[in-house]
Amino acid sequence: MVAVIAIHIAIGLALGVLTSIPIGVANVAVVDAGLRSGRRRALGIAAGGAVADAVHSGLAFTGMGLVLHRHPLVPAILFTVTGALITGYGVHALRAVTRHRPAAVDGGFLLGLALTGLNPAPLLAWLVVAGALALPSAVAGLIAAAGVGVGAFACFAVFAHLAARGRDVVSSRRSSALRWVGAALIVLGVISGGRGMYLLALG
Protein backbone atom coordinates (compact mmCIF):
# COMPACT_ATOMS: atom_id res chain seq x y z
CA MET A 1 0.00 0.00 0.00
CA VAL A 2 2.78 2.39 0.94
CA ALA A 3 4.62 1.54 -2.27
CA VAL A 4 1.49 2.28 -4.34
CA ILE A 5 1.03 5.64 -2.61
CA ALA A 6 4.71 6.46 -3.19
CA ILE A 7 4.39 5.60 -6.88
CA HIS A 8 1.37 7.87 -7.34
CA ILE A 9 3.05 10.70 -5.45
CA ALA A 10 6.15 10.28 -7.63
CA ILE A 11 3.99 10.38 -10.76
CA GLY A 12 2.37 13.59 -9.53
CA LEU A 13 5.72 15.15 -8.63
CA ALA A 14 7.13 14.42 -12.07
CA LEU A 15 4.04 15.78 -13.80
CA GLY A 16 3.99 18.87 -11.59
CA VAL A 17 7.58 19.72 -12.52
CA LEU A 18 7.24 18.92 -16.21
CA THR A 19 4.02 20.91 -16.68
CA SER A 20 5.43 23.95 -14.85
CA ILE A 21 8.56 24.35 -16.97
CA PRO A 22 6.98 25.68 -20.21
CA ILE A 23 6.29 29.43 -20.31
CA GLY A 24 2.85 30.12 -18.89
CA VAL A 25 0.98 32.67 -16.83
CA ALA A 26 2.07 31.29 -13.45
CA ASN A 27 5.82 31.17 -14.04
CA VAL A 28 5.80 34.54 -15.84
CA ALA A 29 3.99 36.07 -12.85
CA VAL A 30 6.50 34.43 -10.51
CA VAL A 31 9.40 35.91 -12.47
CA ASP A 32 7.72 39.34 -12.48
CA ALA A 33 7.26 39.20 -8.71
CA GLY A 34 10.82 38.00 -8.15
CA LEU A 35 12.31 40.78 -10.24
CA ARG A 36 10.02 43.46 -8.84
CA SER A 37 9.42 42.56 -5.21
CA GLY A 38 11.85 39.83 -4.26
CA ARG A 39 11.69 36.22 -3.19
CA ARG A 40 8.84 36.41 -0.65
CA ARG A 41 6.12 37.63 -3.01
CA ALA A 42 7.39 35.39 -5.81
CA LEU A 43 7.13 32.34 -3.54
CA GLY A 44 3.62 33.44 -2.53
CA ILE A 45 2.51 33.51 -6.16
CA ALA A 46 4.30 30.18 -6.68
CA ALA A 47 2.36 28.64 -3.78
CA GLY A 48 -0.95 29.95 -5.11
CA GLY A 49 -0.24 28.64 -8.59
CA ALA A 50 0.85 25.26 -7.22
CA VAL A 51 -2.34 24.89 -5.17
CA ALA A 52 -4.40 25.74 -8.26
CA ASP A 53 -2.46 23.15 -10.28
CA ALA A 54 -3.15 20.55 -7.60
CA VAL A 55 -6.86 21.37 -7.67
CA HIS A 56 -7.00 21.27 -11.48
CA SER A 57 -5.20 17.94 -11.66
CA GLY A 58 -7.32 16.54 -8.84
CA LEU A 59 -10.51 17.49 -10.69
CA ALA A 60 -9.17 15.89 -13.84
CA PHE A 61 -7.90 12.70 -12.17
CA THR A 62 -11.22 12.15 -10.36
CA GLY A 63 -13.34 12.83 -13.44
CA MET A 64 -14.98 15.98 -12.07
CA GLY A 65 -13.30 18.18 -14.67
CA LEU A 66 -15.49 16.63 -17.35
CA VAL A 67 -18.17 19.15 -16.38
CA LEU A 68 -16.41 21.52 -18.78
CA HIS A 69 -17.35 19.26 -21.67
CA ARG A 70 -20.97 19.11 -20.54
CA HIS A 71 -21.19 22.89 -20.13
CA PRO A 72 -19.05 24.50 -22.87
CA LEU A 73 -20.16 27.98 -21.84
CA VAL A 74 -18.22 27.63 -18.56
CA PRO A 75 -14.70 27.47 -20.09
CA ALA A 76 -15.64 30.25 -22.54
CA ILE A 77 -16.55 32.56 -19.66
CA LEU A 78 -13.51 31.53 -17.64
CA PHE A 79 -11.15 32.14 -20.59
CA THR A 80 -12.63 35.62 -21.04
CA VAL A 81 -12.46 36.51 -17.33
CA THR A 82 -8.93 35.13 -16.98
CA GLY A 83 -7.83 36.97 -20.10
CA ALA A 84 -9.04 40.25 -18.64
CA LEU A 85 -7.33 39.49 -15.32
CA ILE A 86 -4.00 38.56 -16.89
CA THR A 87 -4.06 41.51 -19.31
CA GLY A 88 -4.88 43.88 -16.47
CA TYR A 89 -2.03 42.48 -14.41
CA GLY A 90 0.36 42.89 -17.35
CA VAL A 91 -0.72 46.50 -17.90
CA HIS A 92 -0.28 47.18 -14.20
CA ALA A 93 3.19 45.62 -14.34
CA LEU A 94 4.22 47.84 -17.26
CA ARG A 95 2.83 50.99 -15.64
CA ALA A 96 4.61 50.17 -12.40
CA VAL A 97 7.94 50.09 -14.28
CA THR A 98 7.44 53.41 -16.05
CA ARG A 99 6.13 55.15 -12.95
CA HIS A 100 8.74 53.57 -10.65
CA ARG A 101 6.13 52.42 -8.17
CA PRO A 102 7.30 50.69 -4.99
CA ALA A 103 7.29 46.92 -4.94
CA ALA A 104 4.22 45.18 -3.58
CA VAL A 105 4.61 43.87 -0.05
CA ASP A 106 1.73 41.34 0.19
CA GLY A 107 2.41 37.62 -0.03
CA GLY A 108 0.97 37.15 -3.52
CA PHE A 109 -0.72 33.81 -2.75
CA LEU A 110 -4.21 34.93 -3.79
CA LEU A 111 -2.89 36.42 -7.03
CA GLY A 112 -1.14 33.17 -7.94
CA LEU A 113 -4.27 31.22 -7.02
CA ALA A 114 -6.49 33.44 -9.17
CA LEU A 115 -4.20 33.60 -12.22
CA THR A 116 -4.01 29.82 -12.44
CA GLY A 117 -7.20 28.72 -10.71
CA LEU A 118 -9.57 30.75 -12.89
CA ASN A 119 -7.78 29.73 -16.06
CA PRO A 120 -9.49 26.69 -17.67
CA ALA A 121 -6.54 25.97 -19.99
CA PRO A 122 -4.55 24.02 -17.36
CA LEU A 123 -7.63 22.02 -16.40
CA LEU A 124 -8.27 21.10 -20.03
CA ALA A 125 -4.64 20.02 -20.33
CA TRP A 126 -4.93 17.92 -17.17
CA LEU A 127 -8.00 16.22 -18.61
CA VAL A 128 -5.82 15.02 -21.49
CA VAL A 129 -3.14 13.82 -19.06
CA ALA A 130 -5.75 12.06 -16.92
CA GLY A 131 -7.11 10.26 -19.96
CA ALA A 132 -3.64 9.08 -20.91
CA LEU A 133 -2.71 7.93 -17.38
CA ALA A 134 -6.01 6.25 -16.51
CA LEU A 135 -5.28 6.09 -12.77
CA PRO A 136 -7.06 3.18 -11.04
CA SER A 137 -9.21 5.18 -8.60
CA ALA A 138 -10.24 8.63 -7.40
CA VAL A 139 -8.04 8.16 -4.31
CA ALA A 140 -5.03 7.47 -6.52
CA GLY A 141 -5.91 10.60 -8.48
CA LEU A 142 -6.02 12.73 -5.34
CA ILE A 143 -2.68 11.34 -4.18
CA ALA A 144 -1.14 12.12 -7.56
CA ALA A 145 -2.69 15.60 -7.45
CA ALA A 146 -0.98 16.26 -4.12
CA GLY A 147 2.30 15.31 -5.79
CA VAL A 148 1.49 17.66 -8.67
CA GLY A 149 1.12 20.54 -6.23
CA VAL A 150 4.46 19.81 -4.59
CA GLY A 151 6.22 19.37 -7.94
CA ALA A 152 4.71 22.55 -9.37
CA PHE A 153 5.72 24.54 -6.31
CA ALA A 154 9.26 23.18 -6.47
CA CYS A 155 9.56 24.25 -10.11
CA PHE A 156 7.99 27.68 -9.51
CA ALA A 157 10.25 28.15 -6.48
CA VAL A 158 13.29 27.73 -8.72
CA PHE A 159 11.95 30.47 -11.01
CA ALA A 160 11.30 32.64 -7.94
CA HIS A 161 14.83 32.12 -6.61
CA LEU A 162 16.47 32.87 -9.96
CA ALA A 163 14.35 35.98 -10.53
CA ALA A 164 14.98 37.29 -7.02
CA ARG A 165 18.70 36.66 -7.45
CA GLY A 166 18.60 38.45 -10.79
CA ARG A 167 16.91 41.39 -9.07
CA ASP A 168 19.92 41.79 -6.82
CA VAL A 169 22.62 41.00 -9.38
CA VAL A 170 21.50 42.82 -12.54
CA SER A 171 19.55 45.75 -11.11
CA SER A 172 20.70 47.98 -13.99
CA ARG A 173 18.78 45.82 -16.48
CA ARG A 174 15.82 45.06 -14.25
CA SER A 175 13.51 47.66 -15.78
CA SER A 176 14.03 46.22 -19.25
CA ALA A 177 13.38 42.70 -18.00
CA LEU A 178 10.21 43.84 -16.23
CA ARG A 179 8.93 45.44 -19.42
CA TRP A 180 9.40 42.18 -21.30
CA VAL A 181 7.64 40.26 -18.54
CA GLY A 182 4.74 42.73 -18.50
CA ALA A 183 4.43 42.51 -22.28
CA ALA A 184 4.44 38.70 -22.09
CA LEU A 185 1.60 38.80 -19.56
CA ILE A 186 -0.44 41.07 -21.82
CA VAL A 187 0.09 38.72 -24.78
CA LEU A 188 -0.96 35.70 -22.70
CA GLY A 189 -3.99 37.61 -21.44
CA VAL A 190 -5.07 38.67 -24.92
CA ILE A 191 -4.72 35.08 -26.16
CA SER A 192 -6.86 33.78 -23.29
CA GLY A 193 -9.48 36.51 -23.70
CA GLY A 194 -9.59 36.03 -27.46
CA ARG A 195 -10.07 32.30 -27.01
CA GLY A 196 -12.91 32.94 -24.59
CA MET A 197 -14.70 35.38 -26.89
CA TYR A 198 -14.27 32.98 -29.80
CA LEU A 199 -15.87 30.18 -27.79
CA LEU A 200 -18.67 32.49 -26.70
CA ALA A 201 -19.32 33.42 -30.32
CA LEU A 202 -19.49 29.73 -31.25
CA GLY A 203 -21.88 29.04 -28.40
- Give the model's confidence band at 154: pLDDT under 50 very low, under 70 low, under 90 confident, else very high: very high
What confidence tens digit (pLDDT) does each residue in 98-110 have?
Answer: 665 555 556 789 9
pLDDT at 109: 94
Mean pLDDT, residues 112-133 taken together: 89
More confident residue, 4 or 116: 116
Closest Cα to residue 19, out of 108, 114, 130, 107? 130
Q: Quickly list H helices, the chain.
A: 2-20, 25-36, 39-61, 67-70, 73-98, 109-117, 120-133, 138-169, 174-202
pLDDT of residue 149 exceeding 80:
yes
CA distance 156 to 175: 22
The length of the chain in residues reads 203
pLDDT, the chain, mean: 87
- Give the model's confidence band at 128: pLDDT under 50 very low, under 70 low, under 90 confident, else very high: confident
Mean pLDDT, residues 16-41 taken together: 90
- Which of 81-95, 105-119, 149-163, 170-184 shows the lowest mean pLDDT across its residues? 170-184
Residues 6 or more apart in contact with residue 187 via CB below 8 angstroms? 90
Closest Cα to residue 36, out of 84, 80, 92? 92
Backbone phi and psi for residue 169, each to the nearest 5 degrees, phi listed first:
-85, -45
What residue segments make up the domains of the chain, in order of their start? 2-202
- Which of 95-99, 103-107, 182-186 shows the lowest mean pLDDT across its residues? 103-107
CA distance 20 to 149: 10
CA distance 31 to 26: 9
More confident residue, 71 or 197: 197
